[in-house]
Amino acid sequence: MLGLVTPLASGNRKVKKMSEPSSSAAAKISSFALLVIFLTLALSLVALILAINVLYTPNQEPSVAGYLLLIGFLGVALSTYVLLQTRKRIKRLRIKTPPVITTVECRKCGFKNIRDFQRGDYIFKEVEPCEKCKENTLITAIYREVKEKRKKTRF
């Protein structure tokens, strides 16, 4: 839900216009959530500063400092974790599209031309004459190349 805002906002304006009600609702929730996260972060930082203060002032119980430190670290850890999690979700939501590549080949001289896919291309379509021998060329391949990191498992 949080992650939905950014692709809509960063995408083109048309997309935003299309689903305005949902995007504005999502934006409201997300800004509220962000506020909470940053408030937690600020409060826990205050707790940490207080803890250091207590530690360095004489005649104070050191255990109070301990509690404050605990609260401070927990707060910082929690808020950064949530923040990172939302970032990750935003990244995951962005639909990535690797480019689709068309290979045009000359039957006669084997001249190969690799370009981006254009609407109307199809495999085994005869297209523009060859640059070298003026023979008609043929689209022999259309594919997309996915570069995925493969997680190594033992199986």
Q: State how far the Cα of 127 lies from the Cα of 110, in Å rounded to an integer.
A: 15
> Closer CB to another protein, residue 5 or residue 130?
5
Taking the complex as a whole, the smallest distance from the CB of residue 95 to another protein amounts, in Å, to 7
Q: Which does 130 bind (CB under 5 to 8 A by kind): another protein, Zn ion, none?
A: Zn ion
Report DSSP state, residue 2. Answer: G
What is the rounded distance in angstroms from the CA atom of residue 49 to the CA atom of residue 68?
9
DSSP letter assigned to residue 4: G
Closest CB to another protein among residues 4, 130 = 4
Binding positions for Zn ion, 72-111, rule CB under 5 A: 106, 108-109, 111
CA separation, residue 81 to residues 37, 74, 76, 77, 141 (Å): 10, 10, 8, 6, 45
Q: Which option in another protein, Zn ion, none does residue 143 bind, with CB closer than 5 to 8 A by kind?
A: another protein
Binding footprint of Zn ion on the chain (CB under 5 A):
106, 108-109, 111, 130, 132-133, 135
